[in-house]
Structure 1
Amino acid sequence: MPDVHSQHRTGIALVVVAAIAWSTAPFFTRLLHLDSWTILFWRGLFGGTFIALFLVVAQGGRGAKNLMRLGRGGALVACFSAVAMLAFIPALQLTSTANVAIVIAAQPFITAAIAWLWLREAPSAATMLASLIAFAGIAITVSGALAAADLRAIGLAVLVMLAFAVMTVAMRRHKDTPMVAAAAFANVIGAAVSVPFADNLLAVSATDIGTLAMFGLCQVALGLTCFSLGVRLLPSGRATLIATLETPLMPFWVWLAFSELPSGRALAGGAIVMTAVIADIIGNDRGLRTG
């Protein structure tokens, strides 16, 4: 039991780091005045390179071999991860972050449902209650924002949410597959798909290259690597619930960099989301201690 308890704590820490990393996406997107496909190409190229380097440095020859033996499970994860990445940046550019967030906030519910159908992994009642509370908090944050929403952006956000949910459950299903290597290949797929559609692939400044490199390192490589490692140690629904910490953190980085104060709704909704996630972590932690 102590081993299970320690694994859960490690999984929580990794997913929290992933959520913080992912929350920087609007910040980097705001800095770049490029078309979506150009951003996706360079971000994928840098993200995939950094993840591959991490594997080789951390695992040596074994890491290099993992890049060559994904198998069916790894290919499945890589493909769904690539779909989520390809849809996310255009969604952010077509409408407000709030509109995208309200759709993606449904991930814990969808992930839990897929995990139950595919793995018979039933989420705890506490996690489902916390997911509902977190969703209510995000609904408060974006209340009134959907009236003028761009339908294409909402459709892309739904695609992000569904692809990410399937990817998460696939990671749990294929635990023996090198998922960090799969994350590297997801970026390669995303970069390759972007090439025919990019308008300014080579017309990027040195400043843009630096920003894109940091985008790939901080938001993609760090986020996907930590999530790929952490999701193995947590139930799928709980992992995606913790990952919703990304949503209230998104406006924080924009405020920090661009002095844009979040609305009262955003502050209230963000507080509810963080309270729900923290309560779930504490509640399940106590359950593991007494179980």
Structure 2
Amino acid sequence: MNPAQYRLGLLLVTGSAIAWSMAGFFTRLIPLDTWTLLAWRGIFGGIGIGAVIVGLEGRKAWRGFASMGWPAWIFALVSALGMVLFITSLRHTTVAHVAVIYATIPIVAAAVAWFTLRERPTGSAILASLAALAGVCVMVGLSREGGLFGDLLAFAMTSTMAVMMVIARKYQGIPVTQAACLSALLSALVCWPLGNPLAVSAHELWLLALFGLVNSALGLTLFTLGARYLPPIETALIGSLDAPLAPLWVWLMFGETPGAGTLIGGLIVFVAVAAHILLSATRRSVPGTAGP
């Protein structure tokens, strides 16, 4: 793999993790039902991603929609499902639980990539993934904050993200930004009749626009672009930085203090990911040591 592309992938996926970590903050900030929240998030997210596509591709932007094959459509459908599961899980368990459960994604992504791509992860990626999984076990074992239904939704969301990573990696020629735009609009289409989106105030609409543009548009765009340059397990590892970041925003703004188990688990995840990134960067900076 080209070292420059690898570094670009690291930067893009890290940015997506930061953007996605704001989801808990926005769901606590906007006092609306889940379906209304999802509907407007999808609309503004789709508009934001569409603007990015036009900015990057100009008049050729719409050709990507016309050329979407079945891998792109599956990516869009899985992504839309993941959006619904993600926001719904935040309403049924704590932000900290959703974030740290998402830290299991390296294991899930590695398994999916192994069966579908025969792509073997590096030793440091495996160790970091096991450490992230240990962090989740600590969280579940020591914390009584969350709800089982919300935790199950969070794990289902994690599985959809792993599938997206593998699709983006295997089919690098698909128009991923167009697929991401379509997925945001699909989630809005599904959720619109289930909520009451026309009853929102002007202030709530402004907050919803920020939510859609920052969390959905920016997060999805950076993720779909960056996932093409990294193995799925590494994409998943960096994405799990959401675990220590998401509870931080909610704690700073709303005083939702995570318990000791969540704090310890989140710290383990953060250290595991940071160590892997440093090891990978060091290995790839030495000629002849870059992995596949």
| TM band (smaller chain) | over 0.9
Per the alignment, residue 153 of structure 1 pairs with 150
* 1:21-61 Cα distance to aligned partner (Å, 9 max, x none): 00000000001111111111000000001000111012101
Q: Give the secondary-structure state (helix, strand or coil) at the position aligned to 1:106.
A: helix
Per the alignment, residue 163 of structure 1 pairs with 160
* 1:213-270 Cα distance to aligned partner (Å, 9 max, x none): 0001111111110010111100001100110000100111112222444444444333
- Retained in 2: the 8 A contact 1:98–1:145? no
Report deviation, 1:145. Answer: 2.9
Q: Are the structure 2 counterparts of residues 263 and 95 from structure 1 closer, same or farther at C-alpha, using a change threshold of 3 Å? A: closer
What is the identity, as a one-letter code, of the residue corresponding to 1:49? I
What is the identity, as a one-letter code, of the residue corresponding to 2:179? A
- Retained in 1: the 8 A contact 2:79–2:180? yes
How far apart are the structure 1 equivalents of 2:90 and 2:124? 31
- Retained in 2: the 8 A contact 1:98–1:142? no
Identity within the alignment, %: 41
How far apart are the structure 2 equivalents of 1:32 and 1:70? 34
Q: Give the secondary-structure state (helix, strand or coil) at the position aligned to 1:175.
A: coil
What is the identity, as a one-letter code, of the residue corresponding to 1:97? V
* TM-score, length of structure 2 as denominator length: 0.93
Moved more, 97-106 or 245-254: 97-106
How far apart are the structure 1 equivalents of 2:199 and 2:141? 39
Q: Give the secondary-structure state (helix, strand or coil) at the position aligned to 1:154.
A: helix
Per the alignment, residue 109 of structure 1 pairs with 107
* TM-score, length of structure 1 as denominator length: 0.93
- Retained in 2: the 8 A contact 1:102–1:142? no
Per the alignment, residue 280 of structure 1 pairs with 276
Unmatched 5+ stretches in structure 1: none
How far apart are the structure 2 equivalents of 1:112 and 1:100? 20
**How many positions carry a matched residue from both structures?**
287
Per the alignment, residue 264 of structure 2 pairs with 268
Residue in structure 2 matching 1:86, options 73, 79, 84: 84
What is the identity, as a one-letter code, of the residue corresponding to 1:233? Y
After superposition, the CA RMSD in angstroms is 1.7
- Retained in 2: the 8 A contact 1:102–1:139? no
**Aligned 1:32-111 pairs, distance under 5 A:** 32-111=30-109
Per the alignment, residue 207 of structure 1 pairs with 203
Report deviation, 1:101. Answer: 3.1
